[in-house]
Structure 1
Amino acid sequence: MRVISRPAVGGIEVFEADLKSSKIFPVPLGPWAHAAPSTRDALVYATEGTVIRIDPGGSERWRLDLDMEDPDPAAMIDVAFSADDSRVWVYAPNPAAEHDEWIVLDAATGAILSRRPLEAVGQGGHQFPLRDGRMMLDVGEGQDGSLIFLAGPDGEPRNFGWSDRVLIDVSPDERQFMTIDHEGQADVALHAFPGGEVLVRLTVSDFGEDPEIGVIEWTGGYLDAETVIVVVHGEDEEAGGPWWRHYRVNTGTGEVLDDLGIVTIDEYDLQPLGDGTFVVTDTDGTLRRM
């Protein structure tokens, strides 16, 4: 199951599977990204131009300086552990070099195992570890769109060749992945993995919503291998406020099953875990697994 963590007073709070707080790792205010291994006994986090691994007490185990010529404070580094916790993958946007980098580190020592340029000039990225050691990566290029890559620890990254799809999630059986239209957020697609062929495509209208008002939000994901959650978001013209609904979709047929009918603090709060459950935040800030 995915390790749940979030910023908290004093650092990054990491939770056990039952959402009991495991520990708070002391880190500087506002790290760009962070990740914890399944053992929850360490934390890797990124700041401007640096990736650091610490133990629960805050002691530094290793540090990687990315040696960027002129790091852009608005370009967000991403870090992720491989599925077996043996490696740390780093997506490093580097506008000054006119290309980004994808770096694989030994998780225990911080030694660089590979460092490859990417055909991207991104503002941030999001990584998805796969059981066989590979990693998928979504790179957001702002108004220029979004790119999707796939790589193993040693091979060259594969660019799926799209510039208009945002990678949202990979199914727990790793037979599919989910993307959303970048520019207009007009549709959601489920693709065969690893080929990328479109298996299901749904527009705002397919959820019974008005496409003049609603969009498909860049969130949601796989509740389990058979079900994906899609979030439709819009503005209530009469009340003057936002609304959002969480729809369940059958991943095999594309049938819209129902609206979960759950209230969340915002359209991005609900986090599917892939095992049939999801996490939401209560109004008092506590996490609930449902």
Structure 2
Amino acid sequence: MRVFSRKNDHGVEVYDAELNLVRTFAVPPRSTYKEPGSEGHAVPASRDRLFYATDTAVLKVDPEGREQWRFELGARGPNCGVSYTDVALSADDTRLWVYAPNAMADRGRPDEWIVLDAATGAPLTRHELPTVGHGGDHVALSDGRMLLEVGEGQDGVQIYLAGPGTPPHDYGWGDRSLHGVSPDETRFVTVGHDTDDLIVHAFPSGDTLFTVTLPDFGFADDEDDLFLEWSPGFLDDDTVIAVVLGVDEEEDTDWWRHFRVDARTGEVLGELEITTINQYDLDVLGDGTYVITDTDGTLRRM
């Protein structure tokens, strides 16, 4: 099972499989549009090191915060916009993949997808991307390959697949958001940028296996303020969890409901009777369990 960690005001908290807190790594405050700070992070299976990005560099540190290596990205320019660097470890923890939103950071060069040696920080591969992204999200695959989603704001979303020694494959959609790969790595799930459908694709081809839309969940197709949220995922090989978000205009509040979808046929199997603090706070682990945050901030695996 993957290492579970989260960033909060205290730093990056790292947990064991039972969600007991193992340690907390001190990192700079979160980066914002105006203020520099820490951005994406990754923790190896040993849980004794932290990789994290700032607005100018990627670092590896020990539990005491001592720097083991630093890879410089370069300073953000005076015309920088929202630009958030993401990092992720390969499945065997030997490589660190870095998405650097150079265009929005005003570094004077294109966006890059960089592969570093996790032990030394030495660059192994650098790919230029034709994106102007605000940020990225990675999904590691068991054979060393990596999926990357690049969010370009109103301009859409791009999805790429690469291996340690292979160039990125561009899926070419431009309007689909990536939300995980099935545990057996035969399928992956996306949601449309306009939040009106969910598609399960064959992996790695990207061919559509089925599409689910709001009427499949029992809602009218033309209802205003109703969305398929950007937060589904594979509960296990057979089940996708989808989230429908609605807006109550009279009360000026949001509501959300979690649904189980058959990951092989697209049949909606019913509602997952669960309460979460927001529409994103359900992290599926792929083994039939998931993690939510209790009202007191405690993590619970269910």
TM over 0.5: yes
State the match for 1:215 in structure 2: 227
Report the 3-state secondary structure (helix = DSSP H, G, I; strand = E; otherwise coil) of the residue aligned with 1:32: strand
Q: Does 1:195 align with 2:205?
A: yes
Matched residue type, 2:42: A
Shift of 1:236: 2.0
- Give the alignment of 1:26-65 within 5 angstroms: 26-30=26-30, 31-65=38-72
Report the 3-state secondary structure (helix = DSSP H, G, I; strand = E; otherwise coil) of the residue aligned with 2:126: strand
Q: In the alignment, is the contact (CA less than 8 A) between 2:148 and 2:159 conserved in 1?
A: yes
Q: Does 1:137 align with 2:148?
A: yes
- Give the alignment of 1:146-225 within 5 angstroms: 146-182=157-193, 184-210=194-220, 211-225=223-237
Q: In the alignment, is the contact (CA less than 8 A) between 2:55 and 2:76 conserved in 1?
A: no
Q: Does 1:117 align with 2:128?
A: yes
State the match for 1:92 in structure 2: 100
Whole-angstrom distance in 2 between the partners of 1:144 and 1:136: 20
State the match for 2:292 in structure 1: 280
What TM-score do the two structures reach when normalised by structure 1?
Answer: 0.96
Structure 2 spans left out of the alignment, 5+ residues = 31-37
Q: In the alignment, is the contact (CA less than 8 A) between 1:68 and 1:94 conserved in 2?
A: no
Matched residue type, 1:116: H
Structure 1 spans left out of the alignment, 5+ residues = none
Report the 3-state secondary structure (helix = DSSP H, G, I; strand = E; otherwise coil) of the residue aligned with 1:172: coil
State the match for 2:89 in structure 1: 81
State the match for 1:230 in structure 2: 242
What TM-score do the two structures reach when normalised by structure 2?
Answer: 0.93
Matched residue type, 1:4: F
State the match for 2:254 in structure 1: 242
Whole-angstrom distance in 2 between the partners of 1:34 and 1:240: 35
Shift of 1:6: 1.1
Whole-angstrom distance in 1 between the partners of 2:275 and 2:20: 22
Matched residue type, 2:209: L
Whole-angstrom distance in 2 between the partners of 1:253 and 1:274: 18
Whole-angstrom distance in 2 between the partners of 1:6 and 1:212: 34
State the match for 1:18 in structure 2: 18
Shift of 1:9: 4.1
- Segments ≥4 residues shifted beyond 3 Å: 237-240
Q: Please, what is the CA RMSD of the aligned residues?
A: 1.3
Whole-angstrom distance in 2 between the partners of 1:103 and 1:173: 26
Whole-angstrom distance in 2 between the partners of 1:166 and 1:120: 15
Shift of 1:49: 1.9
Report the 3-state secondary structure (helix = DSSP H, G, I; strand = E; otherwise coil) of the residue aligned with 1:189: strand
Q: In the alignment, is the contact (CA less than 8 A) between 2:9 and 2:29 conserved in 1?
A: no
Task: Call closer, same or farther: CA 1:233–1:6 in 2, change over 3 Å.
Answer: same
Identity of aligned residues (%): 54
Q: After superposing the two structures, state which structure 1 stretch, 7-16 or 48-57, moved more.
A: 7-16
Q: In the alignment, is the contact (CA less than 8 A) between 2:40 and 2:85 conserved in 1?
A: yes
Q: In the alignment, is the contact (CA less than 8 A) between 1:11 and 1:28 conserved in 2?
A: yes
Whole-angstrom distance in 2 between the partners of 1:98 and 1:253: 44
